[in-house]
A and B are shown apart, each in its own frame.
Chain A
């Protein structure tokens, strides 16, 4: 079991790295204006809902924001400029994805802590269980038994 742990972990890491590489190197198709608008709307919080994006919400406020997104993109604004436009009015709160790097470190730290805790727990478990399984009969006893059985057979 333990023999396979390292190769499996390495294989999993390689697979993950390959996925990330493919995602990064894939030629990005230029999004259509409608796709761009949908994406920006998905990044913005619907102001009069709880935990819904502007893209998902059916409220009049969300519809008004969607309209403005489409208009501003059509007028030549970049998606970043459109997002900044709404941040200037509603504050950072309007963004569903936080811009603060701190927000990403906390979950990453939690995952690392969890992995560390699991590893510690696993090692501790092995340390107490493994030494219990000692052969009941030693080498000398086994040889003696074999000799006696051979004598009986002879």
Chain B
């Protein structure tokens, strides 16, 4: 009882750092982690598309691009963002190039998804060995990277795209519908 102030001091000394640790440590979420790719040239990739064509990311040069990682098993997130992608392709037209990349999925699974939720006008690369996912540091579908006309990654969005996110990121690239 000689030093009650010391006891009072123990509470903030012990509780506050613990609370801070718990808050910052356990609250960590892969969605909130910024990509180290931002500001860097997009990782190049080549592959076969769902249609059997060859695709090279070098073909994207000169125009802003959206690289969208998706999978047919990614429900409901990929289902939710599908109409957003269809809408953006229609509204922005030639202004932006879209390319899909499959994440741990079979071509048949992806084709079934498109048949069910709507065919798309842009290519989807198969990414059979998962190498493209690693190069982009993808934690899981859906994940989307926005690339400027010089081929530099400017933004990463983890989780389903929304019309608001698309409008914001494309406006940052100087694009309007």
Contact = CB atoms under 8 A, between A and B. Distances in A.
Nearest to A86: B134
B131 A89 contact: no
Contacts of B137: 47, 89-91, 94
A68 B134 contact: yes
Interface string B115-149: 00000000000000111011111111000000000
Interface string B18-47: 000100000000100111110000010000
A61 interface: yes
B104 A60 contact: yes
A88 B43 CA distance: 11
Contact of A89 (B33, B130, B136, B140): B136
Interface in B97-114: 103-104
A64 B35 contact: no
| Dominant secondary structure at the B interface | loop
A77 B53 CA distance: 33
Contacts of B134: 61, 64-65, 68, 86, 89
Contacts of B133: 47, 61, 64
Interface residues of A, number: 22
B36 A47 contact: no
Interface in A110-144: 110, 113, 117
| Dominant secondary structure at the A interface | helix
Nearest to B13: A113
B17 interface: yes
B155 to A, nearest CB: 15
A61 B35 contact: no
Interface of A: 47-48, 59-61, 63-65, 67-68, 86-91, 93-94, 106, 110, 113, 117
Interface of B: 10, 13-14, 17, 21, 30, 33-37, 43, 103-104, 129-131, 133-140
